[in-house]
Chains A and B, each alone.
Chain A
């Protein structure tokens, strides 16, 4: 398993797509910082992008930078593209034929590939967030660090969500055996199409059940992630969020492993 992860990391660092996505992540970090600074310097500049959540605030805190960088749909698309391209590369060029036959348990390939993708996503997050946090701390006049523990908590929770998202995108790529499946899934989520469907289901539920305890959207991961109050959530809400992340990640990876184990290599 360790060797397979090392192999995946080797090919990751030798893939052009990895470096292109790293550059895109850096640009994204600069853009998010720019939007944040523009709004703080001149609040009349109303943005409709990721920075919208801090409008009306007097200052920017460390926790706000987490929200700004990680809790929006743009970064989801970037990391989805990375995971999808990485997960599909081996099958696309046929390299999997060289190694799958000689390994005793095929599911190991799936786990190793996903763990490597998570390492890649982690590196991209650290790179992008590090840049954005640094720029914010240095160049935004009304920046206050706030509690480091609060930043760590917010970052940890959002990171956990990203790991679960990577498992979901990985599953769609494995299922459709092409990059298209994962890309479409990421677009459906990040463009709000899935959210629209969830709202429709919520409306239907409310129509037939008065005061329902749960709504369908409560169980959709994208909704849970995008609306999660990572800074102010209580223990129960945090446990609920962690549970949803874990369930989606486990189901996605379990299904991916099963597909890999049972499918023939083309």
Chain B
């Protein structure tokens, strides 16, 4: 697997509090890695460490397979937008971009204008950043993160506080950056539904610990629709289902969950009846990403 970023037991401690506790994530090149977690779960702490803004208490991370001292050499290939975008309020969008560009030795105005066009801020002219809406500020923050032509973009809660249109615009930008420009994105959010629309890989973080790391397919297979079947004889039912050609199923509590051919509930009921097995309940059920997350983290508080 080609990973652009891997962390190895990355830990950040403030006093006795572990903000991030031995977190090991593996971000595949060219994808969008969604970091899911409640407020205070440790997402920002982890991103700050990866973005070079905070020093790990222990553990390390690799970018492009380089670690230790050489990791610092790779930092110019990382773009970050952590929490609120860092903008000079009395400067225009172009002036803010220029400020960062000068620090990096970039003097190409056309390139900077192109970045503003990419995030839909090309026409802001002399409007100062303090007069921007939250969505515009977030988009300018992304443009700022793109100035150094990063291969890895770290975005901390970029859709937080945006209205539906702002969220849709942000989604389009992320899609463009990932698919058209080939930038790998590490994005955090506690808005699970939105994250599920863009991410290709997921890390679920809770109380500083990484609980799960899965691909989109793995996660969605756990959250997808299923047939939940309760009968008078689970053992015989499994045999009959096997004879009918069902293979993707599991027994959970006193029910059989079937993850394929969920529109064949009628045929299953008839087959069971022929063998004198009573069907107590058969229903199509689905588990949303959110439910799965709650199940993992154990509650709905603070989400």
A15 with B90: CB separation less than 8 A = yes
Q: For chain A, residues 1 to 30, give those with C-beta under 8 angstroms from any C-beta of chain B.
A: 3-4, 6-7, 10-11, 14-16
**Beta-carbon contacts of A93-113 to B below 8 Å, as 1s and 0s?**
111111111111000000000
A104 with B90: CB separation less than 8 A = no
Contact segment of B69-77, B112-120, B206-214, B271-279:
B69-77
Whether, in the assembled complex, B55 has its beta carbon less than 8 Å from a beta carbon of chain A, the answer is yes
Whether, in the assembled complex, B95 has its beta carbon less than 8 Å from a beta carbon of chain A, the answer is yes
Residues of A within 8 A of B53 (CB): 97, 100-101, 264-265
Whether, in the assembled complex, B267 has its beta carbon less than 8 Å from a beta carbon of chain A, the answer is no
The contact of B87 among A10, A93, A103, by CB within 8 Å, is: A93
Question: Which secondary structure dominates where chain A touches chain B?
Answer: helix
Identity of the chain A residue whose Cβ is nearest the Cβ of B86 in the assembled complex: A94
Residues of A within 8 A of B100 (CB): 7, 98-99
Closest chain-B Cβ to A86's Cβ sits at a distance in Å of 12
B75 with A14: CB separation less than 8 A = no
**Beta-carbon contacts of A219-253 to B below 8 Å, as 1s and 0s?**
00000000000000000000000000000000000
**Beta-carbon contacts of A127-155 to B below 8 Å, as 1s and 0s?**
00000000000000000000000000000
Whether, in the assembled complex, B124 has its beta carbon less than 8 Å from a beta carbon of chain A, the answer is no
Residues of A within 8 A of B199 (CB): none
The contact of A11 among B52, B99, B145, by CB within 8 Å, is: B99
Q: A98-B145, A265-B48, A265-B53 are in contact. Are A7 and B90 (CB under 8 A)?
A: no
Closest chain-A Cβ to B215's Cβ sits at a distance in Å of 28
A104 with B91: CB separation less than 8 A = no
Please report the C-alpha to C-alpha distance between residue A95 and residue B84 in the assembled complex, in whole angstroms.
10
Please report the C-alpha to C-alpha distance between residue A16 and residue B82 in the assembled complex, in whole angstroms.
26
Contact segment of B101-109, B178-186, B221-229, B253-261:
B101-109
Please report the C-alpha to C-alpha distance between residue A76 and residue B161 in the assembled complex, in whole angstroms.
44
B102 with A3: CB separation less than 8 A = yes
Closest chain-A Cβ to B71's Cβ sits at a distance in Å of 10
**Beta-carbon contacts of A161-177 to B below 8 Å, as 1s and 0s?**
00000000000000000
Please report the C-alpha to C-alpha distance between residue A235 and residue B100 in the assembled complex, in whole angstroms.
46
Residues of B within 8 A of A95 (CB): 86-88, 96, 99
The contact of A98 among B48, B54, B144, by CB within 8 Å, is: B144
**Beta-carbon contacts of B45-59 to A below 8 Å, as 1s and 0s?**
000100111110000
Please report the C-alpha to C-alpha distance between residue A98 and residue B145 in the assembled complex, in whole angstroms.
7
Residues of B within 8 A of A262 (CB): 55
Going nearest first, the 10 A-B pairs with the smallest beta carbon separation are A94-B86, A101-B52, A7-B103, A265-B53, A264-B54, A95-B86, A7-B102, A97-B86, A101-B51, A104-B72
Please list 25 pairs of residues, one from A and one from B, whose beta carbons are closer than 8 Å in the complex, sorted by A's number: A3-B102, A3-B104, A3-B105, A6-B102, A7-B99, A7-B100, A10-B98, A10-B99, A16-B90, A93-B86, A94-B86, A95-B86, A97-B51, A97-B53, A98-B145, A100-B52, A101-B51, A101-B52, A101-B78, A102-B52, A103-B75, A104-B73, A264-B53, A264-B55, A265-B53
The chain A residues found within 8 Å of chain B, CB to CB, are 3-4, 6-7, 10-11, 14-16, 89, 93-104, 262, 264-265
Known: A93-B89, A99-B104. 14 other contacts (CB 8 A): A3-B104, A7-B103, A10-B99, A94-B83, A94-B84, A95-B96, A97-B51, A97-B82, A101-B80, A102-B52, A102-B80, A102-B104, A104-B75, A264-B48
